[in-house]
């Protein structure tokens, strides 16, 4: 991103190759996330666990925190930022809105995601491995 900020990018540079690999990795990560969601829901249905408090809390965190971040990541990472990066490394000038969203994706969005996703995943892993619900996120209290 520094090459974008200071204007020192060059077509066919190492930065362009790293950017290409980065966006391919983003696509792979999103495909893995979709398969993780699908297999998780299938296992919950197969073993009739949907009534368990720990699973309800886990689903709550995944659907309200992780999925919205991933949707935003898909929109920015797979389409807007990827397209802007390709355009930039092809030597074409970026429009102001493309530069803005590229900076948002590699800046504030990434910083927020680096804090929220690991914390959420840590809670989800705890819920999945301990099979006990968190008292502060009691599903019965949420429903009241």
Domain ranges of the chain: 11-143
Residues 13-44: pLDDT tens digits? 777 788 788 888 888 988 999 999 999 889 98
**C-alpha–C-alpha distance, residues 83 and 19, integer Å:** 11
Q: Residue 84 has what pLDDT?
A: 87
- Tokens for 56? 């309800």
- Tokens for 25? 């990795």
Q: What is the pTM of this model?
A: 0.72
Share of the chain above pLDDT 70, in %: 85
């Amino acid at each position: 991103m520094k090459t974008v900020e200071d204007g020192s990018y060059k077509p066919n540079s190492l930065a362009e190759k790293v950017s290409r690999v980065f966006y391919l990795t983003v696509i792979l990560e999103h495909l893995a996330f979709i398969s993780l969601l699908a297999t998780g829901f299938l296992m919950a249905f197969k073993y009739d666990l949907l009534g368990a408090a720990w699973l309800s809390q886990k689903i709550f965190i995944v659907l309200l925190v992780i999925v919205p971040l991933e949707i935003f990541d898909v929109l920015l990472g797979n389409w807007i930022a990827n397209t802007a990066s390709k355009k930039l490394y092809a030597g074409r000038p970026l429009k102001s809105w493309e530069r803005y969203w590229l900076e948002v994706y590699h800046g504030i969005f990434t910083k927020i995601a680096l804090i929220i996703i690991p914390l959420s995943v840590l809670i989800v892993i705890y819920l999945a491995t301990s099979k006990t619900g968190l008292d502060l996120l009691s599903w019965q209290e949420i429903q009241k």
